[in-house]
Chains A and B, each alone.
Chain A
Amino acid sequence: MNLAGLTIDAVRSAVTERTSSAAALAEAFYAKIESDDPKIGAYLILSKERALAKAAEIDRLAEKGEELPPLAGVPVGIKDVLVTKGVRTTAGSKILGNYIPRYDCTAVARLEAAGAVVLGKLNCDEFAMGSSNENSAFRPVHNPRDLSRVPGGSSGGSAAAVAADMAVATLGSDTGGSIRQPASFCGVVGLKPTYGRVSRYGLIAFASSLDHIGPLAKTAKDAALMLRTIAGRDPMDSTSAELPVPDYVSELDKPVKGLKIGVAKEYFGEGLEPETRSAVEAGVQKLANLGCEVVNVSLPHTKYAIPAYYLVATAEASSNLARFDGVRYGFRVKGARSLSDMYRRTRDEGFGAEVKRRIMLGTYALSAGYYDAYYLKAQRVRTMLTRDFEEAFKKVDVIVGPTCPTPAFKLGEKVDDPLAMYLADIYTVTANLAGIPGISIPMGVSKGKLPIGMQIFGKHFDESTILRVAHAYEKAV
């Protein structure tokens, strides 16, 4: 079976019609990973035993001619910030290098219950902190479209695995753009759902009010199939919403004619590379050709999103990462003189430079004398950014713009300049602060053959409409 371009439905029919077994397909993906991944670095850990057991279970069902579940035999990869029972989970960090979880993340459990085969755990920036995947404690990921370039981050492994046909679809996490930005850099589809749409149970926390789990896939339909499987209330996450989950797949083919597409000038300003601008403008024109009405909107506080985001995110991170102290799990430094010495040296050796930088910034923003000026101020600006979207969505159904200001940059290019790295997230952090859903879809390539992504924002809990627009666009090109 040709693995390139393989979609969820194609896998399910092959397994149902028994033109391929789920086990043979899993083996084919492992062979592909073995031959291609050494130069890409998408996978950190392979879960072969677990994958082949699941595949055998699906094959037994297929042999008996039973109705197969929606993701039957679909080989998926999981970002290594999602815990997997009995399968090592590192969050890309040395401090969790030997951690073996005792329970499964809800989203992973739901994928497996729907028949998916978990191939392994995917490389990422340490604790999902980064925009290039260079902050992995183990190894950087190379962009499959151009190995000298980054795949984006922090879900760099998740995007690269889909782009290089080393998984049919993957799960990532998105705190400030970590699904959409790598999807854009690698030329795949990446969806960040609404906050509360997907349970965060089993996601190793970075910034709890901004963290989301979502799918990366080859098509909008596959993203819809993945989202339908993982979405919905989970009693293990009190912030998961008590709302029914629509059938995203059956809603894909509803017409887009007459939908109002918002275009915000703030997303086409200074810093946006001309090639990316023209690609996204061409994308907007294509939507207009499909009968959508293009409406100008304003999101006036956009330029304050990065500073507000980096204060809120790091403040929450400094609190969440306090749990890594070498007592209950993970790495512990040897030969400590006292408990406090053990804590400090364990954290110093266990965490990488970017994680320490964010813990420091967050602790500073929360410390006495700075709390009001930094943390509280950022939370007030978060309200203003959210109100920007509320106002805009009174006029339009979706808002369309670039996912990133530039295509993928070179490995090493921004590694010594944290501020330049943070500014790469300028168009994505707003959706995390407001909690609205956003999807990045491929929008052609630059002259240098690098993928360009277009981002579509929707109203809270209206993933259906952004998936429908993405699907209509895909069909049209």
Chain B
Amino acid sequence: MKVTERDVAYVADLANLELSDDERTRMVRDLNSILGHVDSLSELDTTNVPPMAQVSDRYGVDESKQGTERFAYASREDVHEGLRKSFPPEVALANAPDSDGTFFRVPKVIER
């Protein structure tokens, strides 16, 4: 077993998830099953292989251009109103579970 109940509790904390006892037990089982399968990656020697985070930095771009030059088409001048006007507050707040009309309202942040 690679992942223990303690690991699950720690990771749930990082991920802002409150897991019930049952969920925690099941998560230990599932994560170990998946990570057991994932372990096959260690068979591969990747020492000189660069990591790939994106497709769009390699394909569909002008490869003769380097660095930011390559993506010049995707940039624009820094202007006050960009591609689209910002939403007015009442629109931005329309989906909020709680607001005072100007700001989102949340439970108190500092616990005593």
Contacts and interface: CB of A to CB of B under 8 A. Distances in A.
Given A102-B95, A377-B46, 10 more contacts: A102-B92, A195-B59, A325-B16, A327-B106, A330-B97, A345-B18, A363-B15, A364-B11, A383-B50, A418-B33
A460 B58 CA distance: 10
Contacts of A322: 15-16
B5 to A, nearest CB: 13
Contacts of B44: 301, 304, 380-381, 384
B9 to A, nearest CB: 11
Interface of B: 3, 7-8, 11-12, 14-20, 23, 26-27, 30-31, 33-35, 37-42, 44, 46, 49-56, 59-61, 71, 73-74, 76, 83-84, 87, 91-92, 94-98, 104, 106-109, 111
A401 to B, nearest CB: 21
A422 B108 contact: no
Given A339-B108, A380-B49, A419 B34 contact: yes
13 contacts: A99-B95, A209-B55, A303-B40, A304-B40, A318-B15, A328-B95, A343-B16, A344-B16, A348-B17, A359-B15, A361-B31, A381-B46, A386-B52
Interface in A319-352: 322, 325-332, 336-345, 347-348, 351
A435 B111 CA distance: 46
A196 interface: yes
A347 B38 contact: no
A304 B94 contact: no
A360 B97 contact: no
A364 B3 contact: yes
Given A331-B97, A422-B34, A461-B60, A238 B15 contact: no
Interface stretch (A13-21, A117-125, A306-314, A465-473): A306-314
Interface stretch (A135-143, A161-169, A239-247, A445-453): A239-247
Nearest to A210: B55
Given A332-B97, A418-B34, A359 B17 contact: yes
Nearest to A100: B95
A100 B94 contact: yes
Contacts of B55: 195-196, 209, 434-435, 460
Contacts of A422: 34, 37
A255 interface: no
B107 to A, nearest CB: 5
B50 A195 contact: no
A241 B61 contact: yes
Interface centre among B16, B18, B46 (most CB of A within 10 A): B16
A138 B73 CA distance: 42
A382 B37 CA distance: 16
Contacts of B20: 348
Contacts of A209: 53-55
Interface in A181-208: 194-197
A379 interface: yes
Contacts of B92: 102, 328
Contacts of A384: 44, 46, 49
Contacts of B83: 235-236
A367 B107 contact: no
B50 A356 contact: no
Contact of A348 (B18, B56, B71, B108): B18
B59 A379 contact: no
B19 A356 contact: yes
B97 A326 contact: yes
Nearest to A336: B107
B51 A347 contact: no
A259 interface: no
Given A360-B12, A383-B51, A461 B59 contact: yes
B34 to A, nearest CB: 6
B17 A380 contact: no
